[in-house]
Amino acid sequence: MEATLLSLFNSTRMSDEDVKKYMTETRPELNHLFETWQTSFLSHFTLTTVGIAVAQANFRRKTGIKLDLSIWVK
């Protein structure tokens, strides 16, 4: 069953370029985001454990939804 689901997922999954094309056609303002991502150091950043915890706390403050940090923080 798992192999069948994985096969189905892979056969219907869009490529990165197809996703980008769809997103920029649907929302042209995203072109700026993609250009900035490719021409700056943003794509080289990594989140620290503290950054993830701060983001989660702000998300919970804004939405009231508590996320399981064990997914990101080990």
Evaluate if residue 72 carries a pLDDT over 80. Answer: no
Please state the pTM of the whole predicted model.
0.52
Segment 6-32 mean pLDDT? 92
The 10s digit of each residue's pLDDT in 27-54 is 999 999 999 999 999 889 888 888 888 9
Cβ atoms 37, 16 nearer than 8 A: no
> What is the crossing angle of helices 16-26 and 30-39, to 10°?
140
Residues 33, 22: Cα–Cα separation, whole Å = 14
Rounded-to-integer distance, Cα 17 and Cα 24, Å: 11
Given a contact cutoff of 8 angstroms between Cβ atoms, the answer to whether 56 and 69 are in contact is: yes
